[in-house]
Amino acid sequence: CVGLKMQEGATDLLEMKERLQQELEGQMKAVLQWTEGRCTEHSTSALETVVMDVPDADAKLAKCQAFAEEAMGGVLHSARSITELLVDCSPEVRCAALEALVCIAKFGPLSAVSAVGMALRLSDPGLRWRGHEQSLVMAALAERVGA
């Protein structure tokens, strides 16, 4: 009697498993058909636009250079904008932002130095999560202003 009940329960589980697999396969087919249809509808226009909207490292480097020149002239929002580039995914952009901010910290106008310091303090995730570049800039700022 016991063996018979176990076998019936196992059969029910196997049937339930097969139904679930069939349902999942049907749902996956529907999702794949939907995504294929969406990608073919928009492949030439929307996807190319998205790719074109993503700035490349060269554009970001040029932007960093322009921001640095403006910041050395006392434009505060440009000085703050460079701090955002410290966390860029490109190591070249982070390095350029680091060099620009250290230059501002050492030789820039005090208003730009204060703007950079404030932007870094507001965006600081804390010592544990702070990037190496951000720590170097904060050290250069502390050296200049004594904070």
Looking at residue 101, its pLDDT comes to: 93
**Residue 134 or residue 113, greater confidence:** 113
Name the pLDDT band for 4 (thresholds 50, 70, 90).
very low
105 exposure class (CB count in 10 Å sphere: 0-12, 13-18, 19+): buried
Looking at residue 52, its pLDDT comes to: 45
Looking at residue 127, its pLDDT comes to: 59
Looking at residue 48, its pLDDT comes to: 46
State whether residue 130 is helix, strand or coil: coil
Lowest mean pLDDT among 3-12, 20-29, 80-89: 3-12
The model's pLDDT over 49-97, given as tens digits with 9 standing for 90+, comes to 444 445 688 889 999 999 999 999 999 999 999 998 988 888 899 899 9
Q: Tell me which residue has tokens 């939907």.
A: 34
User: Can you tell me the distance from the alpha carbon of 101 to that of 87, in angstroms, rounded to the nearest whole number?
Assistant: 13
What pTM was computed for the model? 0.59
- In this predicted structure, the answer to whether residue 42 has a pLDDT above a threshold of 60 is no
Q: Tell me which residue has tokens 């490109």.
A: 90
> What is the helix, strand, coil percentage profile of the chain, to 5?
85, 0, 15
User: Can you tell me the distance from the alpha carbon of 70 to that of 112, in angstroms, rounded to the nearest whole number?
Assistant: 10
Looking at residue 27, its pLDDT comes to: 80
Name the pLDDT band for 122 (thresholds 50, 70, 90).
confident
**Residue 18 or residue 48, greater confidence:** 18
pLDDT, averaged across the chain = 78
